[in-house]
A = this chain, B = another copy of it.
Amino acid sequence: MIKVGVVGGTGYTGVELLRLLVMHPQVSLEVVTSRAEQGMPVSSLYPNLRGHTDLCFVEPSLESLSQCDLVFFATPNGIAMQQVPDLLAAGVKVIDLAADFRLKDPAQWKQWYGMEHACHELLAEAVYGLPEVNREQIAAARLVANPGCYPTAVQLGLLPLLEAGVVDPRSLVADTKSGVSGAGRQAKIDALLCEASESFKAYGVSGHRHLPEIEQGLTAISRARGHTTAPELTFVPHLTPMIRGIHATLYASLTQEVEDLQALFEQRYRDEQFVDVMPAGSLPETRSVRGANLCRIALYRPQGRNRVVVLSVIDNLVKGAAGQAVQNMNIMFGLNEKSGLDMVALMP
């Protein structure tokens, strides 16, 4: 049994992580921290956990956390980078579900997150936890930066095209739609039911923090195959009136004739258990992955013109956050990658 701690278990990513961990057959959940809620039973805040855990929230402390084999950070940005060095020094592995270790360039981090990075030296060591790209490095990592939700859906949708070098890397458009849980469990007017339901809007059009993360990832993918032009993405996120789910609609211009796009994707993900390339003509729905650690993808080339359309859906809280974190844990600890992640999506 892997002894696991969760720092910051009160948000939506936190509770989803707890849901997965209490059902995981090889995990022993040891400690869940929350400064604000310390002393309260976890199941008082999240009644779905009644009967599944007796833990109470405790104040975060190195002492309790360092008894764990692995600590997940489900904290706001800027918290993990304060505490990770001590935990690593104590021999504890870390998966950060926030953004602290996602960007490699501390200057870029400061620009997008508005604060100085607290441990530049770990940025190079941290492995970007997208298993479909970095599985081997994850297996050997002490510190994994769990990808953002949009970056997961967008990168998995575009990477076969970029690896194959068949699209113009400057033609990329990602029109993404997210359920409201992406905004977190915070008391904000914008996320009220009366503001966010029965309406649809774009946000962050002039610049969203996931843009540099995606472009960094796409550039790495592209360079690894020897392509020299840096990918450039127009990224427009939208809020859609539902709780869970991301739908990324991706556009790219072909630079050469591709015989069989469908086969290109199927081959790329043949051995991946959490990426499902659907049959040609499919229309993936976000609900088909609700609660499941899965990215479903479909491909189109409308009117036979030279623009490819990729549809990519995930549950933002699972493959876009907590599920991918558990997948990374499974890889880091040599478990079956599907362990604790083999659930069927809830539909309807």
- Bound Cα distance from A121 to B289, whole angstroms: 45
- Bound Cα distance from A345 to B179, whole angstroms: 19
Please name all residues of chain B whose beta carbon is closer than 8 Å to the beta carbon of A186 when the two chains form the complex. Answer: 189
A181 & B249 in contact (Cβ 8 Å cutoff): no
Which of A228-236, A257-265, A327-335 lies at the interface with chain B? A228-236
Count of chain A residues near B, Cβ 8 A: 84
A193 to chain B minimum Cβ distance, whole angstroms, is 4
Which of A143-151, A196-204, A216-224 lies at the interface with chain B? A196-204
Q: How many copies does the complex hold?
A: 4
Q: Of B15, B232, B241, B348, which contacts A305 at CB under 8 A?
A: B232
Which of A79-87, A103-111, A112-120, A295-303 lies at the interface with chain B? A295-303
Which of A1-9, A60-68, A128-136, A277-285 lies at the interface with chain B? A277-285
Q: A187-B192, A193-B180 are in contact. Are A198 and B287 (CB under 8 A)?
A: yes
Contact with B along A1-40 (1 / 0, CB 8 A): 0000000000010010001001100000000000000000
Which residues in A have some Cβ–Cβ distance to B below 8 Å? 12, 15, 19, 22-23, 46-52, 173, 175, 177, 179-181, 185-189, 191-203, 205-207, 211, 232, 234-236, 238, 240-245, 247, 249, 251, 276, 278, 281-292, 296, 300, 302-303, 305, 307, 309, 311, 313, 342-348
A-B contact pairs, 5 of them (CB 8 A): A47-B278, A185-B194, A185-B348, A205-B283, A236-B309
